A and B are shown apart, each in its own frame.
Chain A
Amino acid sequence: MWNSKDIPLFPAVGAAVLRFAPLTPLSLAGAHLVKTLIRRHPSLFARLGEQADKTFLIDPTDLPFAFRLAPHVDAPSLETVRREDAGAWDARIGGPLAALLGLVHGVYDGDALFFSRDLVIEGDTEAVLALRNAIDNEEIDLATELTALLGPLEHLAAAPARRVSSLVGSWFGVALTREDERHA
């Protein structure tokens, strides 16, 4: 069982460095990731239903940027944005990066994070619930999804990518694989 003091914050030094990172490569990778997710997890979008037309601001509050997710079936995108340039969104989900990743990996309970104020939601609550429930059902492993971006090389890259993900995750205090979440 966790409580708010157990959720690590992204290191301030790392966040300061990321302040100067170019966002375009992250946005390109994000768009590719969402398209791959659609292909690999069609039931995620079936579960989203009409809420797939909404735009979500996924806001890791310990990072200097946020992610603008548009899970539109025909033109999905995951754009990395500075908060001041986030534009219009229907729903915002904010919290430490580790909490958001823990939700994706199904290790944290969204309602409990909301009760403890580790998670903040704004805007269209119906869209937030649909996204939360759809992701929770998919048993997503972020490292596996990122490896899938490599296409035919996925199987060759899986084991090294998992080791690199664990290493990078441990540097920054966040779990990038479901396995690491369980051992956190």
Chain B
Amino acid sequence: MSARKLELVCPAGTPAAFRAAIDAGAHTVYCGFNDETNARNFPGLNFSRDELGASIAHAHKKGAHTLVAINTFPRAGAVGFWHKAVDDAARLGADAVILADIGLLDYASKKHPNLRLHLSVQAAAANSDAIAFYARAFGVKRVVLPRVLTVQEIAAINRDIEIETEVFIFGGLCVMAEGRCSLSSYATGKSPNMNGACSPASHVEYREEDGELVSRLGGFAIHRVGASEPAPYPTLCKGCFEAGDYKGHVFEDPSSLDAAALIPQLAEAGVTALKIEGRQRSRSYTESVVRNFRKAVDDYAAGRPVVAGALRDLTEGQTTTAGSYRKTWR
């Protein structure tokens, strides 16, 4: 017996990773411009206008789609920079843009009525009323759901809305109400939601001290790990701190999402597309993860069992979790 085929939405931080994603079986690739209009604004990463145009053409030739993430919030006085990103994505033939800001959604819907709009996870639309508003007001066709919902809640949302839903299936996790993180801003003066980089590399320092790897962000020591322990990303939300009598990961464990085992339940909950996180990762990561999940999606569609848990070595903390989909934590 065959089941509904899910769309696999895959990350690309460079043109080489983009090609690797397509070759590995991505139905759709998402990427961003090399500036602060996208939420993975890291040095050496992302696409020039020419690179994006060539990549979109390559995707279309291979029968795949390209989504352009313009999902940070425009700075006051610099809105035109974000408008231009939307205009350029439309001109270059993007199949959709992923937006979060209400003003930018309004601009895109009026200026480019034929451009498909997806609502970014950064918009944190986590209930059917909020999602229906975006659909009604701007013609949004798909919402990327925040990583705070259970499978049952996702099913309830899908029963109430008329647009597509996309959920994260693999990669880094973020514990904050998405799109509203102030931790990185506090430590570095740079906002992940405005400047596009959580824990900007310019403020990160690693140093070996007394046999431990010490990570600092904006001068704050946030981790000390021994020689045999896995190293985490230098993000405050996954830092190890002392609070009262407690010492540990106060906000969130350095663990990554792997919901491969939940693919059947997510499909039954009405989800249209599965998203892999990791535009900041290498083409090796992209190739491995996309190939693995394409097989999982195909196996599910063909009624075969889905094999999960093969990608642990690629993940932060080298441990994985089903995240909010199976809410078991305190």
Partner of A132, one of B44, B208, B229: B44
Q: How far is the CA of A133 from the CA of B286 in the complex (A)?
A: 13
Chain B residues within 8 Å of A126, by CB: 43, 200-202, 204
Could you say which residues of chain B place their CB within 8 Å of the CB of A106?
Answer: 16, 282-284
Taking a contact as CB atoms under 8 Å apart, the answer to whether A115 and B315 are in contact is yes
B44 and A48 contact, CB distance less than 8 A: yes
- Spell out A's residues near B (CB within 8 Å): 1-3, 47-49, 51, 103, 106-112, 114-117, 120-123, 125-134, 136-139
Judged by a CB distance under 8 angstroms, whether B206 is at the interface is: yes
- Chain B's interface size range is 35 or more
Instruction: List the A side residues contacting B317 at CB < 8 Å.
Output: 115
Q: Does the CB pair A49–B314 fall under 8 Å?
A: no
Residues of B166-218 contacting chain A, CB below 8 A:
200-202, 204-208, 213
Q: Please state if A129 and B43 are interface contacts (CB–CB under 8 Å).
A: yes
- CB neighbours of B205 from chain A (8 A): 123, 125
A134-B285 in contact (CB<8A): no
Q: Is B261 an interface residue (CB 8 A)?
A: no
Could you tell me which B residues sit within 8 Å of A by CB distance? 13-17, 42-45, 200-202, 204-208, 213, 227-234, 280-285, 288, 310-311, 313-318
Q: Which residue of A lies closest to B254 (CB)?
A: A115
Interchain CB contact under 8 A, B282 and A130 = no
Q: A1 and B310: CB pair below 8 A?
A: yes
* Distance of A139 Cα from B287 Cα, bound (Å): 13
Q: How far is the CA of A127 from the CA of B206 in the complex (A)?
A: 13
In the bound complex, residues from chain B placing their C-beta under 8 Å from that of A114 are 231
The residues of B that contact A138 with a CB separation of less than 8 Å are: 16
* Nearest CB in chain A: distance from B209 CB, A: 11
Q: How distant is B317 from chain A, measured CB to nearest CB, in Å?
A: 7
> Which residues in B have their C-beta under 8 angstroms from that of A2?
313
With known contacts A107-B284, A125-B202, A126-B43, A133–B314 Cβ distance under 8 A: no
Q: Given known contacts A1-B288, A137-B283, what 9 new A-B pairs fall within 8 Å (CB)? A: A106-B284, A109-B281, A109-B314, A112-B315, A129-B45, A130-B43, A131-B44, A133-B43, A133-B44
Q: Which of A103, A108, A110, A129 gathers most chain B CB within 10 Å?
A: A129
**Alpha-carbon separation in the docked complex, A107 to B204 (Å):** 26
Q: Are A130 and B284 in contact (CB under 8 A)?
A: no
Please tell me which one of the listed residues B45, B234, B288 contacts residue A133 in the complex, with CB atoms under 8 A apart: B45
Within the complex, the shortest CB–CB distance from B109 to chain A, in Å, comes to: 33
Contact call B16/A139, Cβ cutoff below 8 A: yes
Does the CB pair B13–A133 fall under 8 Å?
yes
A51-B44, A115-B315, A129-B43 known; A110 and B230 CB under 8 Å? no
Partner of A125, one of B16, B204, B231, B284: B204
Smallest beta-carbon distance A50→chain B, Å: 9
Residue numbers in A under 8 Å from B288 (CB-CB): 1, 109
A49-B43, A111-B281, A136-B283 as given contacts; A3 in contact with B213, CB under 8 Å = no
What's the least CB distance linking A177 to chain B, in Å?
A: 16
Q: Which residues of A contact B45 (CB under 8 A)?
A: 129, 133
Find chain B residues with CB under 8 A from A129 CB: 42-45, 201
A116, B208: Cβ atoms closer than 8 Å: no
